[in-house]
Amino acid sequence: MPRGPSKPLAAIAILVFVAAIPFVCAIMPRGRDSARASFIVKKRTKTSAVAHALKSRDLVFSEYLFLFCSLAACKGRIVAGEYELSPSMSTFAIAKKMARGERKLYALKIVEGYNVYTIGEALGRSGIMDPKAFLQLAHDRQFLTSLGIPSDSLEGYLAPDTYFFSKETGVDEFLGKIVQKTFRFFEGADIEQRMRETGMDAFEVLSLASIIEKEAKLEQEKGTISAVFHNRMRLGMTLDADPTVIYGRESFNRNLRKADLSAQTPYNTYKFKGLPKGPICSPSRSSIMAALWPQESDMIYFVSRNDGSHAFSRTVEEHNHFVALYQKNRSRKQE
């Protein structure tokens, strides 16, 4: 008579089957729903807590299976961040995704000349933060004090660059790092030495640089425009900078009006001598350098030629001549 399988072989088969169950489950999706949802792993979150959260959202079969897959994928390593997950993903795929740090990143591009209002809009477009919430934070005294900003606004301290944000980090921490980049720039030995020579601190340099940023359309004119403002301050003259008036009136989407020039705002450099209350935008590095190292020049006036360049003058008579010339030309172009 043929003999049946021996008990040891049957036992081995059963053990192999039982042992294979976790591996099978690990590569099987939890469900068919492919709709992705955000899952955020905060910094210093324990792997067991991540496993529990995944199970509570029905993204994995069990906490222990995820822990097993995490160990198999990369020795239990999980990179903090925001992950887009769905039940159609296998537990092993989720563990591997987190081990590799394949998290969702948000890009924020701060362009030279952006102010807190346009930066708020950029934050909103990128999905990082609601613009209104940002403006509240940007004027939060406690937040500003914590960053060491001697002002009532973040204006000028958010250095132009492209930044990448991930939601394991708080937005306040993210913005704080951008501000620290600005402070580090002013800690350079040459910059500190030059500030002592000019008698300006970082806040004043940013204020002047922001005006240069808004006035200069051509890089090669920044040094001369800076010289004009330095000369006017040295002579006790008002700066007469249109961009500061526009900022004080928050009239960004319309042309400057004659009534704006008499407005009582701390940014009206036609009415008050010296620098305005604070920066009016995020200046580029070249504008900051121009503010610190103006070109050697005795010019004290300039007017736009309507082509991006400016006509510079030493006397009011020469300046009035250029104003009449280029304003007349501008009027003809608009006819």
Q: What is the pLDDT of residues 320-330, one digit of tens each?
A: 999 999 876 55
Residue ranges in 101-157 assigned as alpha helix (H): 116-126, 131-138, 141-147
Residue linked to tokens 């450099």 = 269
At 208, give phi and psi (nearest 5°): -70, -45
Which of 322, 281, 295, 306 has the alpha carbon at shortest distance from 115? 281
In terms of Cβ atoms closer than 10 Å to its own Cβ (0-12, 13-18, 19+), residue 43 is exposed
Q: To 10 degrees, what angle do helices 131-138 and 171-186 make?
A: 50
The arithmetic mean of pLDDT across residues 235-250, rounded, is 95
Long-range own/partner contacts, residues 199-205 (CB < 8 A, 24 or more apart): 200/291, 200/292, 203/150, 203/151, 203/156, 203/278, 203/279, 204/275, 205/288, 205/291, 205/292
Q: In angstroms, rounded to a whole number, what is the distance separating the alpha carbons of residues 12 and 17? A: 9
Residue linked to tokens 């004043």 = 204
Q: Which residues have a Cβ under 8 Å from the Cβ of 324 and sit 6 or more positions away?
A: none
In this prediction, residue 206 carries a pLDDT of 98
In this prediction, residue 20 carries a pLDDT of 45
In this prediction, residue 3 carries a pLDDT of 55
Q: In angstroms, rounded to a whole number, what is the distance separating the alpha carbons of residues 52 and 238? A: 64
Q: Which residues have a Cβ under 8 Å from the Cβ of 256 and sit 6 or more positions away?
A: 242, 245, 246
Q: How confident is the model at residue 9 (pLDDT cuts 50, 70, 90)?
A: low
Q: How confident is the model at residue 25 (pLDDT cuts 50, 70, 90)?
A: low
Report whether 97 contacts 83 (CB < 8 A).
yes
At 166, give phi and psi (nearest 5°): -130, 140
Which of 326, 334, 325 has the alpha carbon at shortest distance from 308? 326
Q: What is the DSSP string of 257-284?
A: -GGGGG---TT-TTTS-SS-SS-SS---
The pTM score is 0.84
Ranking 15-29, 99-113, 139-153 by mean pLDDT, the lowest is 15-29
How many residues are listed for the chain in this entry?
Answer: 335
* Higher per-residue confidence, 6 vs 113: 113
CA dist 288 → 127, 194, 205, 210 (Å): 30, 12, 7, 8
In this prediction, residue 260 carries a pLDDT of 87
Q: Which CATH class is domain 26-100?
A: alpha beta
pLDDT greater than 50 at residue 184: yes
The arithmetic mean of pLDDT across residues 291-307, rounded, is 96
In this prediction, residue 15 carries a pLDDT of 46
* Higher per-residue confidence, 110 vs 14: 110
In this prediction, residue 4 carries a pLDDT of 54
Report whether 116 contacts 138 (CB < 8 A).
yes
The tens digit of pLDDT for each residue in 257-290 reads 888 898 999 999 999 999 999 999 999 999 999 9
* Higher per-residue confidence, 28 vs 137: 137
Q: In angstroms, rounded to a whole number, what is the distance separating the alpha carbons of residues 146 and 70? A: 38
Q: In angstroms, rounded to a whole number, what is the distance separating the alpha carbons of residues 74 and 67? A: 11
Ranking 5-19, 75-89, 188-202, 255-269 by mean pLDDT, the lowest is 5-19
Report whether 95 contacts 72 (CB < 8 A).
yes
- The region, left, alpha or beta by phi > 0 then psi within -120 to 50, assigned to residue 89 is beta
CATH 3.30.1490.480 boundaries in the chain = 26-100
In this prediction, residue 41 carries a pLDDT of 94
In this prediction, residue 258 carries a pLDDT of 84
In this prediction, residue 13 carries a pLDDT of 47
